[in-house]
Structure 1
Amino acid sequence: MSGSAASLRARADLRTAGRIVVKVGSSSLTTSEGKVDDERVLALVDALAVRRAAGTEVVLVSSGAIAAGLDPLGLPRRPRDLATQQAAASVGQGLLVARYTAAFGRHGIGVGQVLLTAEDVIRRTHYVNARRTLYRLLQLGVVPVVNENDTVATDEIRFGDNDRLAALVAHLVHADALVLLTDVDGLYDRAPSKPGARRIDVVAGPQDLAGVSLGTPGSRIGTGGMVTKVEAASIATTAGIATVLTSAAQVAPALEGQDVGTWFAPTGSRRASRLLWLAHASLARGRLVLDDGAVAAVVERRMSLLPAGLVSVEGQFDAGDPVDLCDQKGHVVARGLVNYGAGELPGLLGRSTHELAAELGPAYEREVVHRDDLVLLH
C-alpha cells in the first residue's frame, strides 16, 4: 500500500493530462449551516484555472445544490423527504452555478451547467446527446459544471453524492484521470480519528482494500462517504481511468501530481459508456428468469437473450427499460435493455424467433435483449 516509484511516475502524468474530471462534495463547498462558502469555491476554482491555463480540459462534477438551498429556505439540516430535497435543489442549484460563474469569470473562463440523470446515458439517444454537449462545451473552452438533476430525479437523488456520477462522466468524456475531493485527505485503513490510523497511499487493486474499514456514508450536509468514493474509484479504474482521492484543501498539489491523498491505479480497459451506466447507474424495472441454457449463452458465450430461453417475467416495464436477467435460483447474472414491454413477453416464453415471426410477423424475429445492450453482473 505504500507509494512505489511507478505510482509516483503515474501521479506525475496528472501534470500533463489532457482532460480530467474533478468531483467536489457538498461538505467541501458549504459551511456546517448549509451556506455556500465563497472562500472554498474560490480556492477550488483558482486551482482548476491553473490547470486550464496549462492546457488541460476540466469537467467539474459538483454536489452542493441541495446544501446551498438549505439556508435560503430556512431549513436547519438536509431534508429527508424527496419533495423538500427537490425544492432545496431548485433553489440551491442557481446559487451554486452563480458562484461558479463569478469565480471562473475572474480567470476569463466560462461555465456551462449540465444536469444529468441516469437515463440520460442509459438510453442510447440520450447518452449520445449528453456526450455531444459535453464535448462541444470543452471545444468552446467552457468548463462543464455537472450535477444530477435533483429537482426532477426520484431514485437518482439518493445516488451517492455524485461520486458514482463523476466516475461515469469521466468515462463518458474519455478523461485521463478522475479526482475525487472530500473533507478527508485520503483513504485510511480505519477511521482517521483512531490511534494508529494510516493513510493508504496507493490502491493497486481490490486486494489492497482487504480489511480496510470504510465507515458509514456521509456528513450532515452531504450524502456520500468513503464507501461511495471507493465504489466510484472502482468504477473508474476498472474502466481504465486513474483516480485520486484527497481533500479539497489539497486539490492544487493533487493536480500537480504530488504524493497526496490515495492513488487508485487503473485495473481495466474502457468499454461502451452506456454499458457502464447500465451496470452501475440504472435501476432495474423488472426481472427476466432464464433457463440454464440461456444463462450459459448469455454469461459464457456472450450471446443475446432470445424468447426461447425465457422461463418467466416479473415486474412492469416498457420496451427500452433496464431489466435484470436471473437464473432459476433468483441470482442476477446480467442487466440489459429489453426490447419488449412486460405485457408482450408472457406470450413469447419458450418460443423460437422463427416461430414467432411466422405467426406474428417479422417484427417478432428479434432478441429480447441484444448482446450490445447487455452487461454481465458479478
Structure 2
Amino acid sequence: MRERRAAREQGARTVVKVGSSSLTTAAGGLDAERLDALVDALAAARAGGEHLVLVSSGAIAAALAPLGLAARPGDLAHQQAAASVGQGLLIARYTASFARYGIRVGQVLLTGEDMAQAGRYDNARRTLDALLALGVLPVVNENDTVATDEIRFGDNDRLAALVAGLVRADRLVLLSDVDGVYDADPRLPGSRRIAEVRTGRELDGLDVSFPGSGLGSGGMATKIAAARTATEAGITVRVTAASRVADALADRPCGTLFHARDTRPSGDFGHAPTAGSAEFIGMVEEVTGRTGITLSDHFHDIGGTSLHAMRICARLRKETGIPFLPQDLFESASLAEFLAGRGQRADGLTGDARHAA
C-alpha cells in the first residue's frame, strides 16, 4: 500500500465515463475523430500527472454497422453477440489511439457480481491498482457478453460511480451528448443549465425523463443517480458534454458540478468508540437505519455490497469519526458479522495509516 500512497501523492485519481452516443455514429460504428479527440484530452491530463481510469460504453453500438444491424438489438442474446464483436473493435481502437502518446491501455470487463461479492470486489480493486501502478490506463466496461438482467449494472453511469469508489478516486467526470443537467429538456427554449449542485435541493422537482440518443442504455436520470452515489463517498462529480472533456479535466467551469459530501467527522469525538461496543453499535444502527438497512441484512441479498457500503461508510466516517472504507465491510457478510469482531482492526486508525497499512 505504500507504493499506492506514493502514487496518489503525485496526482489525483480521476474516473472518466463516456457514453455510446459520444463515440459512435448515428448509424452505428465507431467515430474515429471523436474517439481520438477524447484520447487527446485524456493523454494531456495524464501528462499533467493525473491518474486516469476510463469507463467506456460503446461496444454494442460499435458493432451495429459491421453486423449490418439497423438499430440496437432488443433481445439479450443479440445484445451480447453485438457486444462480443464490438468490444474487440472498441479496445483495438483505444489501443491504437493511445499508442500515439506511448500510453498502454488494459481492458477490464466487470459484471454486477464483481462489485457485489467481497472476494471478487477485492480482486477487481487489486487489478486496477496494479494497472495504475504500472502506468497502464484501464479501460473499463460492463461484461455484456455474459451479464444477465439479474447481475447487470444497467448502465455505465452507475458502473462508473462504483469504480470511482473502488479505486478511491478524487473525482468522477460523466461525459454526455448534453452539456450538463438542465431544469427541463435542453432542446426546449427557456431551459436552464444547473451549474452546481451542493445539497441536492437544486434538483427538487426536476424532470429528467426526456429521451436520449437511443444508442446507449443511460440518460440524464442515471447520471444524476450516479453522481449522488459518488458524492456520498466524498467524490466530486462533473456532468458535461464529451466535447468539453478537456475543460472538465482542467477544472474549468463547464457542465454541472456536484460537490462531494463532506465525509469528515461532524464533531470532536476525542477518541473513536471501540468497534463492537454498545456506543458504537448504537451509532451504526442510527446511521444505517436511515438507509433502510439493518445489522442482520446480508449484503448480497440487499443488492450488492458496493453501492450500500459506499453510502454506509461515508455516513460512518462523518458521524462516528472512524475512517471506514467499503473494504472494511466487504470482509463480512453483514454489519452484524462486521461488528462481531472483524471491525476491531479499524479502531484508532487514521485514513493515512490505513493507506500505509
CA, structure 1 residues 264+255, in 2 after alignment: closer, same or farther (shift >3 Å)? same
* Conserved 8 A contact 2:18-2:242: yes
| Equivalent position of 1:371 in the other structure | 336
* Conserved 8 A contact 1:160-1:228: no
CA, structure 1 residues 171+297, in 2 after alignment: closer, same or farther (shift >3 Å)? closer
Larger proportion of helix:
2
| Equivalent position of 2:206 in the other structure | 212
Deviations 1:162-206 (A, max 9, x none): 000000000100111000001001111101111211110000122
| Equivalent position of 2:94 in the other structure | 100
Matches of 1:373 and 1:175, distance apart in 2: 25
Deviations 1:95-131 (A, max 9, x none): 0000000000000000000000111121111011100
Q: What stretches of structure 2 of length at least 5 have no aligned partner?
A: 1-9, 265-284, 310-331, 340-357
Matches of 2:338 and 2:223, distance apart in 1: 27
Deviations 1:266-298 (A, max 9, x none): 12539xxxxxxxxxxxxxxxxxxxxxxxx9998
| Equivalent position of 1:223 in the other structure | 217
Question: Number of matched residues?
Answer: 284
* Conserved 8 A contact 1:17-1:176: no
Q: Which has the larger radius of gyration?
A: 1
Instruction: Give matches, 1:81-96, under 5 Å.
Output: 81-96=75-90
Q: What's the offset of the Cα at 1:373? A: 6.8
Instruction: Give matches, 1:244-263, under 5 Å.
Output: 244-263=238-257
Q: What's the offset of the Cα at 1:305? A: 2.4
| Equivalent position of 1:305 in the other structure | 296
- State, as a whole percentage, how many aligned pairs show the same letter: 58
Matches of 1:370 and 1:249, distance apart in 2: 43
Larger proportion of strand:
1
SS at match of 2:67: coil
| Equivalent position of 1:165 in the other structure | 159
Deviations 1:213-271 (A, max 9, x none): 2124532211110000000000000110000000000001111111110000012539x
Structure 2: which amino acid aligns with 1:262? T
Matches of 1:131 and 1:335, distance apart in 2: 17
Instruction: Give matches, 1:312-323, under 5 Å.
Output: 322-323=300-301
Matches of 1:226 and 1:120, distance apart in 2: 25
CA, structure 1 residues 114+253, in 2 after alignment: closer, same or farther (shift >3 Å)? same
Q: What stretches of structure 1 of length at least 5 have no aligned partner?
A: 1-15, 271-294, 307-319, 326-333, 337-366
Instruction: Single out whichever of 217-226 and 133-142 deviates more from structure 2.
Output: 217-226
| Equivalent position of 1:198 in the other structure | 192
Q: Alignment partner for residue 132 of structure 2, among 138, 144, 150?
A: 138
SS at match of 2:81: helix
* Conserved 8 A contact 1:237-1:243: yes
| Equivalent position of 1:312 in the other structure | none
SS at match of 2:98: helix
- TM score, norm. by length of structure 1: 0.70
Structure 2: which amino acid aligns with 1:207? R
Q: What's the offset of the Cα at 1:303? A: 6.8
Deviations 1:44-68 (A, max 9, x none): 0000000100111100000000111
SS at match of 2:181: coil
| More contact order relative to length (CA 8 Å, sep ≥ 6) | 2
| Equivalent position of 1:188 in the other structure | 182
SS at match of 2:194: coil
Q: Alignment partner for residue 44 of structure 2, among 38, 44, 50?
A: 50
Matches of 2:253 and 2:35, distance apart in 1: 23
SS at match of 1:249: helix
Matches of 2:334 and 2:256, distance apart in 1: 39
CA, structure 1 residues 268+120, in 2 after alignment: closer, same or farther (shift >3 Å)? farther
* Conserved 8 A contact 1:190-1:214: yes
SS at match of 1:155: coil
Instruction: Give matches, 1:137-156, under 5 Å.
Output: 137-155=131-149
Q: What's the offset of the Cα at 1:299? A: 3.4
Q: What's the offset of the Cα at 1:69? A: 1.2
Q: What's the offset of the Cα at 1:73? A: 1.1
Q: What's the offset of the Cα at 1:210? A: 0.9
CA, structure 1 residues 160+247, in 2 after alignment: closer, same or farther (shift >3 Å)? farther
Matches of 2:184 and 2:259, distance apart in 1: 21
| Equivalent position of 2:71 in the other structure | 77
Structure 2: which amino acid aligns with 1:137? L
Deviations 1:1-54 (A, max 9, x none): xxxxxxxxxxxxxxx951100000000000001110000110000000001001
